[in-house]
Structure 1
Amino acid sequence: MSDADDAITDFSRRRLGVDGVTKTVYVAGSGPAVVLMPEMPGISPDVLRLARWVRDAGFTVYLPSLFGVDGAYPTASGGAEVARRACVSAEFRAFAGGGTSPVTAWLRGLARLAHTECGGPGVGAIGLCFTGNFALTMALEPAVIAPVVNHPSLPLDDPAGLELSDEDGRAVRDRLKRDGLKVLAYRFDDDRWCTGQRFAAYRALLGDAFDGRVLPGSAANTSPPPFFREVVGTPHSVVTAHLVDQDGHPTLKARDEILAFLTDRLLGK
């Protein structure tokens, strides 16, 4: 695995405003839109690898910069500092009792904008780690019809908690049922940041609309970047830092399942 930064030269770097707030968003591809949110500590080379896979599968990827240094290889010290800042940011609710993170309202607006620009039946949303649950909350936006929740780590201090207010939880549940939507989700079985208790809580809220898939931790890449090895310290990032890019590997199968889910929902294939 390379330990170099990614210059992100194959994406358009746009400044997009939603409800008076402007953020940098990297955009590439053609076809229906998929909003891919970065994991901690930011838009890493592994997150960009996933973005390119989604792009190459026939979608327009919108990759918003929410924290960290765009394209940076995840070092232990740098990544830990990004995580500390995000945990106290007003945009995020990292701990139990905080309810829904305010940044999700901006992300829903981004999904509306992306749908307007790209057309198609709707928008996909992929959350990772710190942003994992955001993909579910984004389903409050009618344009979002293919939410993918990967190893959601919030709230950090409650293994059985969901990063959702009770009101938003009910609204998401009702929307999924009304429109016949499914939520695809992934975790490793021994992930201490995204536990079986959390997946059980999703299942209790969403019922059969929640398709939670669990991979053995033994399948995780054993040589992830330093942030994941030294700070995360457990199998965690199924389709990014802990993915093993080998044919037939369980993590690569998970990637293929996600692409198939997006293709079915957004391309009707």
Structure 2
Amino acid sequence: MPKRSMMQDDPLEDFERRTITLAGVSKVVYVGGSGPAVIVMTEMPGISPHVARFARWVRDAGFTVYMPSLFGRDGAVAGAEEGAAVFQRACISAEFRAMAANQSSPVTKWLRSLARLAHGECGGPGVGAIGMCFTGNFALTMMLEPSMLAPVLSQPSLPLNDPAGIEIAPEEVRAVRERLEREDLTVLAYRFAGDKFCMAQRFAAYAEALGDRFIGRVLSDSAANRSDLSPFFQRYVTTPHSVVTAHLIDEVGQPTIAARDEILAFFKRRLSAADS
């Protein structure tokens, strides 16, 4: 994959820009690649060059990427004020439950439908998904869709006002745990040790809810990239946070690259034809 600047807007020209309507709701989705489907859900404040880079890594590993536009300006390096405005709109949007523990964001119903559609289009045993930051927990709720087989939670940050809360309804998390145990599936999750948005209490809550089906990885703060950060990140994300995007160090041997590679291997293992 050619190197691109993370400090310039990404035109996303190597993805197909589709408008997908599900249950009467239309969203733009960037699609590219071939093979089993993986849904890449953006972190706040939108599909940044860092998020697009990760999506390309997934695509180039042998998957069809579906990257829905959920908020923000697609491909943008967000300014501090622009990013803050996106964040504020998302917090009051009816699609998200930013401040409520034990509730699932309504947008996850649309995302489950997207997984079903992607599985029908791409075939294979099922679908993978990764959520990041604001969308970090969504891949877990998406496990209510039978086609979802490989959920990854990267720095899940909701609910914002309860470090020990998880953003999924109790009856849904019970259903997900039953499915994980019944089908011998697992959930991968990542955070930095000093992340102020996704703290140790949250991973403890996931472990309590999901038992040994939850595999949480905690990276040292020293493993985080501190350069080439957008103005939004420089002002508002002041601790290591984005494991596979903004705070990833793109060098061989780095812990964040190891995390990326583990995620890609997880998708390959769960979505290979041998597992069907």
TM-score range, shorter chain: over 0.9
Correspondences of 1:1-269 after superposition (within 5 Å): 2-97=6-101, 99-223=103-227, 224-267=229-272
- Which has the higher mean CA deviation after the structures are superposed, 258-267 or 171-180? 171-180
Name the SS for the 1:157 alignment partner: coil
- Deviation of 1:230 (Å): 1.1
Name the SS for the 2:66 alignment partner: strand
| Residues 43 and 133, structure 2, Cα contact 8 Å, conserved in 1 | yes
Quote the RMSD (CA, aligned, Å): 1.1
- Deviation of 1:228 (Å): 1.5
Q: Which runs of 5+ in 2 are unaligned?
A: none
Q: Which amino acid aligns with 2:136?
A: G
| Residues 43 and 65, structure 1, Cα contact 8 Å, conserved in 2 | yes
| Residues 6 and 50, structure 2, Cα contact 8 Å, conserved in 1 | no
Give the TM-score taking structure 1 as reference length. Answer: 0.98
- Deviation of 1:96 (Å): 2.5
Post-superposition CA distance 1:130-178 (Å, at most 9, x none): 0000010001100000000000000000000000111111111111111
Tell me how far apart the structure 1 counterparts of residues 175 and 47 of structure 2 sit (CA, whole Å): 30
- Which has the higher mean CA deviation after the structures are superposed, 96-105 or 175-184? 96-105
Q: Which amino acid aligns with 2:49?
A: P
Post-superposition CA distance 1:165-197 (Å, at most 9, x none): 111111111111111110011000000100010
Q: Percent identity?
A: 65
Q: Which runs of 5+ in 1 are unaligned?
A: none
Name the SS for the 1:101 alignment partner: coil
Q: Which amino acid aligns with 1:257?
A: E
| Residues 119 and 126, structure 2, Cα contact 8 Å, conserved in 1 | yes
Misfit runs of 4+, over 2 Å: none
Tell me how far apart the structure 1 counterparts of residues 248 and 113 of structure 2 sit (CA, whole Å): 30
Question: How many aligned positions are there?
Answer: 269
